[in-house]
Amino acid sequence: MRTAVLFIGALVILGFFNIAIYQKEAILSQGQPLYLAISALDPRSMIQGDYMQFRYDIESEMREISSNELQKNSSAVIKGDDNNIAHFVRLYDGKPLANNEKLIHYTYHVLDMRTIHIQPDSFLFQEGLATLYKNAAFAIFQFKGAKDYLLSGLADKDLKEINPEVNEQ
């Protein structure tokens, strides 16, 4: 009986992981790209290896909002221009979004110098490829619907995706 319970429990856990993986793969394969302008902060970590840590320009746009309006954990409405470059529109208030508007989650830290953070704020890549990624100007997000999104890569100032397999050859 104990073995059967452990086996069923393991199947349930594996099922949840597989569903989560399937959902993420669907976002990556079926999502619409949206570019968020970034400023690089630190290209290296002693523990993790090569990576790019960045701040989003949208976070600076959001600093113009009164701190009374910002919530600790909430969403902001963004909208892509003709080149799919995202710009801050307003804080999300629960009202329906326009067709071209998307939601992006942010956290607001009052005690940490009133900083606004959009996650993820870093991109890990294979060691030795820092020279390829040093010119990154945009984070590429794949959006499926208005609020499901994943960071899928980085792009240069011309919105060309930085792809080590293509750029190495």
For 36-71, what is each residue's pLDDT tens digit?
999 876 656 556 667 788 889 999 888 877 777 788
- 37 with 108, same domain: the answer is yes
pLDDT computed for residue 103 by the predictor: 95
- 63 with 11, same domain: the answer is no
- 6 with 80, same domain: the answer is no
Q: What is the pLDDT of residues 139-148, one digit of tens each?
A: 999 999 888 8
- 21 with 44, same domain: the answer is no
Sheet holding 122-124, edge to edge: 122-124, 49-56, 32-45, 138-144, 148-155
- 67 with 135, same domain: the answer is yes
Distance CA 45, CA 59 (A): 23
- 20 with 85, same domain: the answer is no
Q: What total number of domains does the chain contain?
A: 2
User: Coil, helix or strand for 82?
Assistant: coil
Phi-psi region of 94 (alpha: psi -120 to 50; beta: other; left: phi over 0): left
- 55 with 115, same domain: the answer is yes
- 26 with 44, same domain: the answer is no
Nearest Cα residue to 101 out of 117, 90, 114: 90
**Cβ of 35: how many Cβ atoms within 10 Å?**
20
- 93 with 15, same domain: the answer is no
Tell me what the pLDDT averaged over the chain comes to. 84
- 8 with 39, same domain: the answer is no
Q: Give the range of the structural domain holding residue 15, as residue numbers without chain letter.
A: 1-30
pLDDT computed for residue 71 by the predictor: 80
pTM of the model: 0.80
- List of long-range contacts for 95-102, beta carbons under 8 Å, 24+ apart: 97/146, 101/77, 101/146, 102/34, 102/77, 102/78, 102/143, 102/146, 102/147, 102/149
